[in-house]
Structure 1
């Protein structure tokens, strides 16, 4: 930043003789103010439902969907603008102190009318949390502007939204799941991508697993469609696989790594078959056998947020947390998902 000086100060001699030469760049306050870039400011709110779908709204002035939010008024804090816009657009009172992302939108963004003289924008994305059915039912739309809301599968956002809006929304959603703090974005792209960003998690539709949750072993008469393992590392996180080609997340097979203390956790019942779940303590992770998959450590809550488990998801998660306690493992803090090295790891 240039050093500022008063316009009244001149470079002529002073009362006590010649003034010393000034070091650096000197500017008057007026000149410095005129040199600064002017940008718009906006604030939007990311809300999900219990199935991890994102709230988007339809408006009467453009064909694509938007997150609720809008412009920051002169002298208004971005978080205050987010709360005001939610109240005006959805009839929902609340505060949104937790930021998920700050995005720089360039002035040459396609699709903006030239006569608008768009100078670029700094857009804040705030966390609106996960809404219950009761809170969703409380939405009251205004008489004009917002014509409807829907909850969209994350992978469907690029088809519903402007490309930059979709990138920003997915980046903010990954930042929320990751738990590393707000993401800094440039045109919707993280300046420091996380493992979830690098692997493109949520860019394809999640596989629905909406069967009823039933605890305990699979009955002998019931066919088993597949088996998955909640395999716990010593810090209480679990092993998660990400397909590099699609970004799809899923639990590994119970035999994916050496483990001890295995117990039948329960199963999903769907289409007259069982999708069995086992819990166990990892003793090590061997070298990667299939380069098509990345192996990450995640909290059970992060695994659920990356999955489409339907209404029974909270029952399975409760069983997982009980199994972790049974295995005498700690409760991990929400930290960024950690990609394991290809050579494996031992504890």
Structure 2
């Protein structure tokens, strides 16, 4: 950072030093190469700084993991709640004000999910606007219950409606940059590792979820009711997946590299020990695609991996909560998690802290 001075002439005498043996150079004098050094007047320094806009938006999801977007009367695509930060206003205060003005809902949103730098040459801004670039803060609005959603009251103008969208729908509903930013912020929330730094909606340090493009494909709905315990003999099993625990309490999660789709592995695909059934899903969605059946779930210790895993899938370790947030399981997902944590306790494993899902190293399966 340049040094500031009120002096206009760089070659005026410097103030006397109190310690004659100080070795710091006198920057009020010209440098040895004849340049004026780094002194700048406050006026010159202020003029040299980049000027950008500042805005704040809030990412809200419902209990099914869908993202709240709103329709407005001044553009065709949809937006997250939020808007410009007023002069002298803190970004978090702007976020709360905008949600109150646009949706009629009071709240505080102190947790940042992402900070995005939007360059001045971003397409879509009219030339007359002289868009200088923008710093945009994305705050975590949390998960809204049906009761809170029902309390939304739209203003007389500007916001014409709200909609909860499947994350994979956002690129079709929003401006491309807005959709990238929203998905990056949603992945940052699932990662639980703090605020993500973005440039034009892209993380400067992508996590595994970012690199694999998780949530770009619509999640497969499995909304059948949860039943704990073994599958009854009279019910056919249409799908069998495993909650396979690593020693740190996390579980194995597969991500399709081509689509970013997330799902639990089949127990037979990897080496396991101490397997036992924890429950099954049963309902209308389990009878789809040509027949009745249930989705069975088994818990087991993960003890090893095949020598050459399927290259079509990335193998991640994630917390059970992260697995649920990447899945579309409906209200029964909470009951399934209860059974999963009961299985973890039965294995005497720790409750894992929320950290970004990581690709599975062989060492992670050693007990």
- Common fold: TM-score over 0.5: yes
Counterpart CA distance in 2 for 1:188 and 1:38 is 20
> Which residues in structure 2 correspond to 1:240-259 (within 5 Å)?
240-259=253-272
Counterpart CA distance in 2 for 1:288 and 1:202 is 26
> Which residues in structure 2 correspond to 1:37-116 (within 5 Å)?
37-116=50-129
Deviations for 1:11-59, whole angstroms, at most 9, x for unmatched residues?
145799xx87355411111100010010000000000011110000000
Q: 1:346 to 1:287 in 2, by over 3 A?
A: farther
TM-score by length of 2: 0.91
1:127 aligns with 2:135: no
Counterpart CA distance in 1 for 2:124 and 2:259 is 29
1:194 aligns with 2:207: yes
Counterpart CA distance in 2 for 1:166 and 1:15 is 55
Which has the larger Rg?
A: 2
Counterpart CA distance in 1 for 2:123 and 2:15 is 58
1:220 aligns with 2:233: yes
Give the RMSD, CA atoms, in angstroms.
1.7
What is the aligned partner in structure 2 of residue 11 from structure 1? 11
1:314 aligns with 2:334: yes
User: Is contact 2:247-2:364 (8 Å) kept?
Assistant: no
The structure 1 residue matched to 2:315, chosen from 291, 295, 308, is 295
Unaligned regions of 5+ residues in structure 1, if any?
none
Counterpart CA distance in 1 for 2:324 and 2:15 is 74
User: Is contact 2:192-2:354 (8 Å) kept?
Assistant: yes
Q: Tell me how far 1:141 sits from its aligned partner.
A: 0.6
1:21 aligns with 2:29: yes
The structure 1 residue matched to 2:176, chosen from 151, 163, 187, is 163
Which segments of structure 1 move beyond 6 Å, counting only runs of 4 or more?
none
TM-score by length of 1: 0.96
Specify the SS of the correspondent of 1:27: coil
What is the aligned partner in structure 1 of residue 151 from structure 2? 138
